[in-house]
Amino acid sequence: MMRVLSIRNLTKLLCGLTLVSFLMPPQGAWSNSVENIWLEGINRFRVLMETSEDQPLPSAEVVIPPPLEPAIHPEASLSSLLVDPGHGGIDFGTKEKKIYEKTINLAVSLLLAEELRKQQIGQVYLTRDSDVAVSLQERSRKAKEKKADLFVSIHVNAVRHKRDRSASGPRVYHLSRHALSSNYERNWSCHDKKNTSRNVGEAEANTTMEIEGHLSSENLEMPSLPRRMELVTQGDSLAHEIAGALRVGIPARSVPVLQANFFVLRCTDAPTVLVEIGFLTNSIEAKKLQDPQYQKRLAVSLASGIKNYLSEKAAPTIPAAPDSLVKVPQDSLPGSDSR
C-alpha cells in the first residue's frame, strides 16, 4: 500500500531554461527520498519516490502545510531605456580610411531603438539621432532626466598596432569592481578631464580604446558607493545577457565581457553597458559593419540580450513554505486507516 509522502529536501529542477526551487515539508516522521528525476519536454518532469513498507502512522496527527498562494511577478518591462550612439559631430571616434565610427554607431543605435520599440518594453530614447556632438556629461545627464532604467552605449573598436589588425568581434563592458573601493572618487571624476580622455580597457592592452568623446564644463555627481554596488551587479548581468545574445545572433565564437571605468559607466545612475560592436581596423569586419543587413542583425541581437536581462529579472520564484502548519486529525484523512 502506498502512502502520501513528501519531499524532505530542497530539490532543484531544471524546467526549460529556468531553475526552479521548491520545498515540501515532511509529514509526521515518515522517511522518504527522491530516487530519480526525468525531464519530459520543456515544462514537465517526472519524479520517482522510494517509499517505506506499510506501517501505522507514528502519531495521531499528520501535519499538512496550508496551500501556498502563487507568487505574482511583473512582465519584463522598463519605464525607459536610453540608447547612446557614441561620438558624433566633430568627434569622429575611430576612423579607418573614409569610414567613421560615429556613422556606424548612429546607424546601429537607430535600428536598436526601432527594435526595442517594436517589443514595447518601455519608452526608448537616444542621446542623439543625428550627426551632432554630445558631451559625455550630457549623455549621462540625459539618463537621469529621462529616468532611464538602462543605458546602452554603442561604439566601434580599433587596435593600435598593425600586427593586431586581425582582432575582431564585439566586446561588452560594464562598470569595474574598482568602483566599489572607498577611494574610487579620488581617482576618477565626472566633471574634469582627469582619466577621461581615453577609455582605459583593463583586459585588452593591445587594443586602442577610442576617444570617448568631449567633456563640457558641466559638473556631474558620481553615484554613491551603495548605488555603485547595485550598478556593478546589474551591469554585469546585463553585459552577460547581451554578450550571449550576440554570440548566437551574429554569430560569434566568443564575446568577452570586460570591466572598465569609462565615463558613461561610472557617471550614469542606471545599469549601464558599453558595447564595442566590432573592429574598424579589421578590413573584413569593417565591411560588415557598413552592411545594413549586418547592422540589423547586431541591433536584433542587442535587443534580444536586453529582453533576456529583463526576463531574468522577472523570472518567477516559488515562495518558501510558511512557518505555521495546519494540523489535521488522522481519522479525517482519506485512506488513512490501517488496512
Contact by Cβ (8 Å): 30, 3: yes
The per-residue DSSP string of 263-319 comes to: HHHHH-SS-EEEEEEEETTSHHHHHHHH-HHHHHHHHHHHHHHHHHHHHHHT---PP
25 vs 204, more confident: 25
- Among 218, 217, 200, smallest CA distance to 209 is for 200
Contact by Cβ (8 Å): 249, 299: no
Three-state DSSP state, 189: coil
State the Cα–Cα distance between residues 174 and 265, nearest whole angstrom: 7
Is beta strand 272-279 parallel, antiparallel or unpaired with respect to 150-159?
parallel
> Domain limits of the chain?
11-73+316-332, 80-313
Q: What is the pLDDT of residues 268-291, one digit of tens each?
A: 999 999 999 999 999 999 999 999
Helices (H), the chain: 101-119, 136-145, 184-187, 225-249, 263-267, 283-290, 292-313
Architecture label for domain 80-313: 3-Layer(aba) Sandwich (3.40)
Question: Would you say residue 168 has pLDDT above 50?
Answer: yes
Question: Would you say residue 265 has pLDDT above 50?
Answer: yes
**Which of 19-28, 91-100, 193-202 has the largest mean confidence?**
91-100
Query: What pLDDT, on a 0 to 100 scale, did the predictor assign at position 33?
Result: 46
**Which of 88-97, 215-224, 309-318 has the largest mean confidence?**
88-97
Question: Would you say residue 338 has pLDDT above 70?
Answer: no
Instruction: Compute the average pLDDT of residues 310-339.
Output: 52
Cα dist. 230→78, 80, 270 in Å? 17, 18, 9
Place of cell 546607424: 107
Alpha carbon distance, N-terminus to C-terminus of the chain: 9
State the Cα–Cα distance between residues 144 and 182, nearest whole angstrom: 24
Cα dist. 159→20, 243, 270 in Å? 44, 21, 29
Contact by Cβ (8 Å): 240, 233: no
Query: What pLDDT, on a 0 to 100 scale, did the predictor assign at position 8?
Result: 39
